[in-house]
Amino acid sequence: MLNFELYNPVNYIFGKGQTEKLTNLVPKDAKILVAYGGGSIFKNGVYNQVTTALKDFDLIEFGGIEPNPRFETLIKAVQIIREQKITFILAVGGGSVIDGVKFISAAVNFEGDATEILKKRILFTDVTKVIPFGTVLTLPATGSEMNSGAVVTIGATQEKLTLGGSALFPKFSIVDPTVIVSLPKRQLQNGVIDAFTHVMEQYMTYKHDALLQDRLAESILQTLIEVGPSVVENPSDYKLASNFVWSATMALNGLIQKGVPSDWATHMIGHELTALYEIDHARTLAIIGPNLYRVLFETKKEKLAQYGQRVWKLTGDSTDVIARQAIEKTVEFFHTMGMKTKLSENTENYKETADFIVNRFEERGWLALGEKQNITLEKVREIVEMSY
């Protein structure tokens, strides 16, 4: 097992009716910016729950954080916080709103051009330099409610880039599984596949000695396979909803990645597809992931076979056979979950995509990705072209 440090200060508050606790979670005398997205919180009652719980606080609202949040939108909130002397931010929404708030929190005291936070991947480790924030999660998928990472798009250059650092964990996150009832089916499907792929990125590498992490990863995958197809049909079933939501958090709260190699290349390539074509984040992962396993078959086949045997209960004559079947099982599952796994099924203008992505990665110096740093630009091209 590799050495690791486990640090996660998020006060994670799970279950029905927990939003009431907001009153005692935000700091006394806080001046709060309540940040939200396109307005779903007004229709599903979450806005009322939040404002009722915070009725004695000084609130300023900032709406309009879009899916795949834009730098250009977030920077307006940064200005408001500076002018209004806001001391706490509450993100009410899905991954986009929470990620947006992480960026806002970091940018308020950042001197200079705030796009550099993204372009230079500046790490935020000093809690005194950021604005503290909490979250009320409305969409299980990203794990952003319990991690310190975020993804923000610079609209002007169509770049989807990451930021993070230990200062950017939420102070608390309220996670009430009943909020998923109002989610469109497409977003429920996305949530399951995003969480599934998060586990795969930290698991589908090579065989190693971290036995517990493997079992934890496999158990999350198995839970998502068990509840995923039913929860999208029946999100008001609390057993299904609560297991889905907790699995999505566990998939990316840092625990399963401790002491193990990881490979975030599916996400890195997928982010480009969203930046270029606005394809939903999870759907880009369903397009790229299986082809990445195919192209990197020799590197990953031992682990693919373990996954096939343990998660899909496959039996077969050889590692190669089980590993190949495991990839096909994954694609089948993605189809069951409503994913279209070819790029051409998601956008019409895809023919230049591989060139574009390879050039971009080259410009950024991303010449070798993956747990063995053997996903070269040529391999990236092969994966993307195979995905057409």
The enclosing H or E element of 321 equals helix 319-336
Cβ 267 to Zn ion, closest distance in Å?
6
Q: How many residues bind ligand NZQ (CB under 6 A)?
A: 33
Cβ 325 to ligand NZQ, closest distance in Å?
27
Binding site partner of 38, from ligand NZQ, Zn ion, none, Cβ cut-off 5-8 A by kind: ligand NZQ
Q: Closer to ligand NZQ at the Cβ: 88 or 103?
A: 103
Binding site partner of 37, from ligand NZQ, Zn ion, none, Cβ cut-off 5-8 A by kind: ligand NZQ
Residues in a beta bridge with 344: none
Q: Closer to Zn ion at the Cβ: 99 or 194?
A: 194
- Spatial distance between the Cα atoms of 138 and 277, rounded to a whole number of angstroms: 25
Taking CB under 6 A as the criterion, the residue among 19, 105, 135, 190 binding ligand NZQ is 190
Regarding 262 and contact with ligand NZQ (CB under 6 A), the answer is no
Hey, what are 172's tokens? 């608390």
Contacts of 242 (CB under 8 A, 6+ apart): 14, 15, 177
Per-residue CA distances from 176 to 16, 147, 168, 282 (Å): 5, 17, 22, 22
Cβ 199 to ligand NZQ, closest distance in Å?
11
Q: Closer to ligand NZQ at the Cβ: 122 or 321?
A: 122
- CA nearest 173: which of 91, 101, 106? 91
Hey, what are 250's tokens? 């566990």
Asked whether the CA dihedral 70, 49, 81, 106 is positive or negative, the reply is negative
Q: How many residues bind Zn ion (CB under 5 A)?
A: 1
The 3-state DSSP class for residue 341 equals: coil
- Choose the binding region for ligand NZQ from 6-14, 182-190, 240-248, 369-377 (rule: CB under 6 A): 182-190
- Choose the binding region for ligand NZQ from 147-155, 217-225, 344-352, 365-373 (rule: CB under 6 A): 147-155
CB 178 within 8 A of CB 138: no
Cβ 163 to ligand NZQ, closest distance in Å?
9
Contacts of 366 (CB under 8 A, 6+ apart): 268
Q: Identify residues 190-209 at the interface with Zn ion (CB under 5 A).
A: 194
Rounded to the nearest 10 degrees, the angle between the axes of helix 281-295 and helix 319-336 is: 170
Regarding 40 and contact with ligand NZQ (CB under 6 A), the answer is yes
Binding site partner of 44, from Zn ion, ligand NZQ, none, Cβ cut-off 5-8 A by kind: ligand NZQ
Cβ 146 to ligand NZQ, closest distance in Å?
9
- Spatial distance between the Cα atoms of 193 and 91, rounded to a whole number of angstroms: 23
CB 29 within 8 A of CB 54: no
Kindly give the residue spans of alpha helices, DSSP state H, lying in the chain. Answer: 22-25, 40-43, 46-53, 71-84, 95-107, 115-119, 185-203, 211-233, 238-251, 265-277, 281-295, 297-311, 319-336, 353-364, 377-386
Q: Identify residues 62-101 at the interface with ligand NZQ (CB under 6 A).
A: 67-68, 93-97, 99
Regarding 263 and contact with Zn ion (CB under 5 A), the answer is no
Q: Closer to Zn ion at the Cβ: 19 or 197?
A: 197
Q: Which residues bind Zn ion (CB under 5 A)?
A: 194
Q: Which residues bind ligand NZQ (CB under 6 A)?
A: 37-41, 44, 67-68, 93-97, 99, 138-139, 141-144, 147, 149-151, 179, 182-183, 187, 190, 194, 252, 267, 281
